[in-house]
Amino acid sequence: MNWGAVWAIARKDAMVALRTRAVVLPLIIVPLVLMVGVPVLVGLISGMATRLDVPSSDMTELAQSLPAGFGEQYAGLSEVQAGYIYFILYLFAPMYLVLPLMASSVVAADSFAGEKERKTLEALVYTPTTDRELLLAKILGGWIPGSLVGLVGFIIYAIVADIMTFYVAGRIVLPNPLWLLLAFWVGPAAAALGLGVTVIASSRVNTFQEAYQIGSLVVLPVVLLVVGQAAGTFILSDWLVALMGLVLWALNLVIFAIAAATFRRTALMARL
Amino acid sequence: MGATSTTVIVTEGLTRSFGSQVAVDALTVTIEAGEVFGFLGHNGAGKTTTVRMLNGVLAPTAGRVRVFGLDPTTDGHRIRARTGVLTETPALDSRLTARMTLLHFAEIYGVPPRERTRRVDELLALFELEKRADSKVGGFSKGMRQRLALARTLIHDPEIIFLDEPTSGLDPVAIRDVHHTIEQLTHRGRTVFLCTHNLAEAERLCDRVAVLAHGRVLAIGTTQELGSRLNRGHRISLEIEAQDIARAVKLFAATPPVSLAEAVTDRTAVRNGSATIVLHGVSRSEVPAMIQTAIQHDLKLYRVQPEEPSLEDVYFALQEL
Ligand SMILES: Nc1ncnc2c1ncn2[C@@H]1O[C@H](COP(=O)(O)OP(=O)(O)O)[C@@H](O)[C@H]1O
Ligand SMILES: [Mg+2]
């Protein structure tokens, strides 16, 4: 493996993408809206409801649909307060995955389809890399910034969420095992998945925008998770999140094995 | 295959089709180290496709290729480590500066870290890009881009340099610079594979030339060997008295090495009572003799101009054989 070349290509991809407005804008706006805007907004409403002393029953009613142990852990809180913590810890959790998914997919769209658009691919195929090295370089170039955006998003969320839960309920709730699993186990897997899908999409389309739009479709399963949990179909637990990560990694393994088996620069050039 | 130790490229019946279209048709060539080999042909003749196959970035449909004794299909990366390719379009990322571009490729090509900055500075100086070294490529002129792409091609000091139409679309000064660079490379013993549609360029720079049309080699040899046939591509135009035109056509048609004398009949060629006649097959060195002939036969000459050589005439001459 020619690691020098792989690392050089990956690093340049990541670096240049992070200097491109079409890439950076969504990478800033989405985390801000999602990881700051939503918890703050919901927190302010919950906080007001608590302070206005809106008549609320205690938690016993809510408790049936809550994860095991949640009731004991947050005993003594009003329904609004516990509800907000539930929102922060569980309801919102699947939404977090949008971050690494979207980030890696936007960078990959830039590095693969954008490469076609800017006609820079030809310089790259003539480098002394093997097909496998070139693919790996391109994957790392999207995966590293994707995962990083996910981790930074998690840190921001943890800080904002703690401030808001303290404001609403006088508690600090993050980080907890479930969110650590999300950020360090599921997030990077989601980043890889967003990447894989976009890479495949990129080989079919010609512009950054098209690739990005198709790549964005990977967000759909996340929406299903959000809706499913809100509707009470299931509740996330540590082991469920761990399992989710495992499934995603397995899926990635399949996708990238197929990519490695089919990615040929000669095929790219035959279409150029 | 009779490959000697200095043979760097050998192809035998190398063929590539796209659907029913044959882009490169049974190409058989042998290129020695240190040669400047010209690949001469019009757009669509199969030049770029050949360069791609030789570097293992496009698979041949049939035939055999060896570069440095390696098969590009399986050892492409080993070949590419020792070749440099100037692609038809510069393929530069407009968001990087010139220096970043070169440093990036130096790293990809495994130029040792200690040598990178020196090598990059050298190339920036050689291609007169120092002043703009830290500007984004996006703002570069076509000539500057071409120079930067050429610098990138040479970053790892490759043994074979493929130049795919290196001067097309450049202004005369930029063309002169590129030609100068190619001459320097050959002085340093590098092998150059030059794709061009410019006959004069091929004649000036190349030791040997393959003339290509529709994927087929029409002729291959040293420029001297092909001499008279390549000469067919040269033309000069003479502006003379309009009333003398018929006499001049007859006269020059019978004067060697003129292969064809034709009166230019469109309106712009006729002005102030003078008209233009084009003599095919006359190269620059034969211009004085033509002028002398004209004077001897009392033709009034107003203007003599060598024209851009025409590949068509070369094709025509080659197909006659
Ligand atoms: N990727 C491709 N797909 C289909 N046809 C191609 C492709 N590349 C080249 N061709 C065709 O092959 C022929 C030779 O092309 P090319 O090698 O680019 O010629 P040149 O470089 O001499 O201009 C042309 O007719 C061109 O249209
Ligand atoms: Mg070409």
The interface predicted TM-score of the complex, written ipTM, equals 0.82
Given this model, what pLDDT does residue B65 score?
A: 97
3-state helix, strand, coil in chain A (%, to 5): 80, 0, 20
Q: Which residues pair with A39 in a beta bridge?
A: none
Note whether B47 and B111 are same-domain residues.
Answer: yes
Q: Structurally, how many domains does chain B consist of?
A: 2
Note whether B165 and B245 are same-domain residues.
Answer: no
Distance from CA of A201 to the nearest CA of B (A): 22
The answer to whether residue B80 neighbours chain A at the CB level (below 8 Å) is yes
Note whether B63 and B127 are same-domain residues.
Answer: yes
> Does residue B202 lie within any of the structural domains?
yes
Q: Is the pLDDT of residue B1 over 70?
A: no
C-beta of residue B26 within 8 angstroms of C-beta of residue B15: yes
Q: What is the mean pLDDT of residues B43-58?
A: 96
Helix (H) or strand (E) holding B32: strand B21-32
Note whether B16 and B134 are same-domain residues.
Answer: yes
Determine the Cα–Cα distance for residues A199 and A193; give it in Å rounded to an integer.
Answer: 10
> Does residue B319 lie within any of the structural domains?
no
Given this model, what pLDDT does residue B2 score?
A: 46
Given this model, what pLDDT does residue B262 score?
A: 85
Domain boundary among B170, B205, B228: B228
Given this model, what pLDDT does residue A116 score?
A: 76
> Does residue B177 lie within any of the structural domains?
yes
Mean pLDDT is highest, among A187-191, A200-204, A220-224, B232-236, for A187-191
The enclosing domain of B290 has a CATH number of 3.30.70.920
- Picking from B57, B87, B93, the nearest residue to A16 by CB comes out as B93
Note whether B16 and B118 are same-domain residues.
Answer: yes
C-beta of residue B105 within 8 angstroms of C-beta of residue B157: no
Domain boundary among B228, B253, B269: B228
Task: Using the atom order of ligand 1, give the atom closest to the CA of residue B43.
Answer: 23
Note whether B221 and B249 are same-domain residues.
Answer: no
Does A266 sit within 8 Å of B77, measured CB to CB?
no
Give the pair of three-digit tokens for residue B8. 């760097």
Domain boundary among B228, B263, B284: B228
The enclosing domain of B184 has a CATH number of 3.40.50.300
A88: number of Cβ within 10 Å: 28
Which SS3 state, helix, strand or coil, does residue B238 take? Answer: strand
Given this model, what pLDDT does residue A30 score?
A: 86
Note whether B81 and B148 are same-domain residues.
Answer: yes
> Does residue B55 lie within any of the structural domains?
yes
- Closest chain A residue to the Cα of B104, Cα to Cα: A8
Segment A174-186, tens digit of pLDDT: 899 999 999 999 9
Distance from CA of B141 to the nearest CA of A (A): 16
Full domain range(s) for residue A214: 3-270
Segment A79-135, tens digit of pLDDT: 888 888 988 998 888 889 888 988 888 888 887 777 777 788 899 999 999 999 999
Determine the Cα–Cα distance for residues A99 and B91; give it in Å rounded to an integer.
Answer: 32
Segment B249-277, tens digit of pLDDT: 888 888 888 888 888 866 655 566 788 88
Does B58 sit within 8 Å of A270, measured CB to CB?
yes
The answer to whether residue B157 neighbours chain A at the CB level (below 8 Å) is no
Q: Is the CB of B47 under 6 A from ligand 1?
A: yes
Does A270 sit within 8 Å of B87, measured CB to CB?
no
Q: In angstroms, what is the span from residue B50 Cα to ligand 2's centroid?
A: 9
Helix (H) or strand (E) holding A40: helix A38-51
Does A8 sit within 8 Å of B104, measured CB to CB?
yes
Note whether B243 and B282 are same-domain residues.
Answer: yes
Give the pair of three-digit tokens for residue A2. 């020619």
Q: Structurally, how many domains does chain A consist of?
A: 1
Q: Is the pLDDT of residue B3 over 50?
A: no
Any idea what DSSP says for residue A91?
A: I
Note whether B222 and B248 are same-domain residues.
Answer: no
A113 alpha carbon, distance to own chain's centre: 21
Determine the Cα–Cα distance for residues B238 and B300; give it in Å rounded to an integer.
Answer: 10
> Does residue B204 lie within any of the structural domains?
yes
Given this model, what pLDDT does residue A64 score?
A: 58
Taking CB atoms and an 8 Å cut-off, how many pairs form between chains A and B?
71
> Does residue B316 lie within any of the structural domains?
no
Question: Using a CB-CB distance cutoff of 8 angstroms, which residues of chain B are in contact with residue A266?
Answer: 56-59
Note whether B197 and B261 are same-domain residues.
Answer: no
Question: Which residue, B2, B3, B53, B1, is CA-closest to B25?
Answer: B53
Task: Using the atom order of ligand 1, give the atom closest to the CA of residue B46.
Answer: 17
CA angle A218, A233, A81 (to 5 degrees): 95
Q: Measured in Å, how far apart are chain A's first and last C-alpha atoms? A: 27
Given this model, what pLDDT does residue A227 score?
A: 77
B180: number of Cβ within 10 Å: 10
Burial of B122 (0-12, 13-18, 19+ CB in 10 A): middle
Cα A129 to Cα A134, B58, B90, B148, distances in angstroms = 6, 14, 19, 22
Length of chain A: 272
C-beta of residue B53 within 8 angstroms of C-beta of residue B72: yes
Interface with A, mutate which of B61, B80, B108 (most A CBs under 10 A) = B108
Q: In angstroms, what is the span from residue B228 Cα to ligand 1's centroid?
A: 30
Note whether B129 and B34 are same-domain residues.
Answer: yes
Q: Is the CB of B49 under 6 A from ligand 1?
A: yes
Q: Is the pLDDT of residue B33 over 90?
A: yes
Backbone torsion region of residue B68, taken as left when φ is above 0, otherwise alpha when ψ lies between -120 and 50, otherwise beta: left
Q: Is the pLDDT of residue A54 over 70?
A: no
Note whether B164 and B243 are same-domain residues.
Answer: no
> Does residue B53 lie within any of the structural domains?
yes
Full domain range(s) for residue B81: 7-228
